[in-house]
A and B are shown apart, each in its own frame.
Chain A
Amino acid sequence: GENVEQHPSTLSVQEGDSAVIKCTYSDSASNYFPWYKQELGKGPQLIIDIRSNVGEKKDQRIAVTLNKTAKHFSLHITETQPEDSAVYFCAAIRGVRGYNKLIFGAGTRLAVHP
């Protein structure tokens, strides 16, 4: 089955700096890679995703890149703000219409210091 590894486990940056979180996956058939932000005591919130037919996707300060050959994908947050502080999870799935059995990475605790 799929296995997703995520690094680093914790990341501390100064406000305004960039943050990068990296994930690798094992199942070459996986074709959908979402990123979730989880704040304390809340459920995960989808912040950006990418499909295997795309190499990069950007949404304002957030971007995701995918390298299918190496089987890794990364989350990039630019101009970080204190409200970006949270736990971020990557996930992978062999996406089938309406079937979303996600395999999560271990999570990265991001702290943005003013």
Chain B
Amino acid sequence: GAVVSQHPSWVICKSGTSVKIECRSLDFQATTMFWYRQFPKQSLMLMATSNEGSKATYEQGVEKDKFLINHASLTLSTLTVTSAHPEDSSFYICSAGTGGEAEAFFGQGTRLTVV
């Protein structure tokens, strides 16, 4: 299957600082990528749709000014958590499709801890 890589796999940051998470499609191009958030023992909740070359589309209740998404190329999308607070601590996961079928492939996730 297609490979989606996320970096970093875990990060600890101080409250008030910003953190950037990268999502790369390694062997295919993705015009659309998706960012999910997952709290412990819960399901994946879609945060936003990242569109190459245009603004991201955010789900209801997700603050676009806090979770900045940039999809600068067909293989890279970034999620920046700005002015992070302890309640932003979570597992963030990206996904992408190859464009040929409906399958979505997920990155390994990034565990963010804000202290």
Residue numbers of A with Cβ under 8 A of B are 31-32, 34, 36, 41-46, 49, 51, 89, 93, 95-107, 109
Contact = CB atoms under 8 A, between A and B. Distances in A.
Nearest to B107: A43
A103 B36 CA distance: 11
A13 to B, nearest CB: 20
B6 A46 contact: no
A34 B34 contact: no
Interface of B: 1, 4, 6, 30-32, 34, 41-44, 46, 49, 93, 95-109, 111
Closest 6 CB pairs of A and B: A95-B102, A100-B104, A98-B99, A43-B106, A100-B97, A32-B102
Contact of A49 (B42, B98, B103): B103
Contact of A44 (B49, B96, B106, B111): B106
Given A41-B109, A43-B108, A43-B109, A98 B34 contact: no
Contact of A46 (B1, B34, B100): B1
Contacts of A96: 102
Given A41-B111, A43-B93, A100-B95, A89 B106 contact: no
7 contacts: A32-B102, A34-B104, A41-B109, A95-B101, A96-B102, A99-B102, A100-B104
